Amino acid sequence: MRVAVVTGGSSGIGAALAHRLAERSYHCVLIARGRERLELLAGETGCEAEVCDVADRAAVEAAARRIGERHPAVHLLVNNAGVPGRAGFLELEPERIEEVMRINYLGGVWCLRAFLPLLEAGAPSAVVNVASVAGTVSGGPSGPYSASKHAQVAFSRTVSAELAPRGIRTVTVNPGLTDTEGFPQDRFLDHPVWRHAVVSAERVAAAIVAALDSGRGEIFVPGYYRAATALQGLAPGTVTRLASRRPPGRYTRDR
């Protein structure tokens, strides 16, 4: 039995991925902060539910111990939990800036460290870090979120060298505009041009499964977002100006 642990598993990309992994005979353990929706989805998919805030290192370590008592090995860890920022460094409350960094970046670090013995026991195994195009391109009004995702991308890319000798591969996933309950993209979906850049959680989940099958180490969803990363290095000022443009109305984009 292949065991997968998915954080942020109660909605959005995490929920879509849980369905796909269950179809592929993974036994999933879903982690999220809210109990009601988590247990509902777990019941629908035949998964286990673990209520845990990934920003709390002690809570993550306790959850890993509980899961380890039930499963001697984990074959896949998906660090997907994330929260939006939706304001700049000078506007967002200090407490929210700290929360964004703790969940989006440190949450993945704490989960990897806590589940490492189980991943080694399940080797060959894999870690999927769901970051964002915002972690490869600087600009736009959601700076704290972008900074947290830059940190997550750097973590994912660099830790791959540490994990490879242990039989654990790493996949860095950079979705673009993804419409989910936690990251609504209403203004973009209503825009005649930007709406074509919005993808669904199901599309991202399908891309993750495809990357696991193909052995790819980093993907962008859709793939054309990779060009923005290349342009960032060549013309950072231009990318910053373009990223700062947005459809009229309230800005709701992070991932």
Q: Tell me the catalytic residues.
A: 145
In one letter, which amino acid is 145? Y
Residue 190 has a CB neighbour count (10 Å cut-off) of 12
Contact 104, 31 (CB under 8 A): no
**Rounded Cα distance, 2 and 25, in Å:** 7
Helices 35-45, 12-23: axis angle to 10 degrees equals 20
Tokens, residue 236 = 């950072």
CA-nearest of 205, 197, 214 to 173 is 205
Contact 155, 169 (CB under 8 A): no
Contact 253, 179 (CB under 8 A): no
Tokens, residue 167 = 């039989």
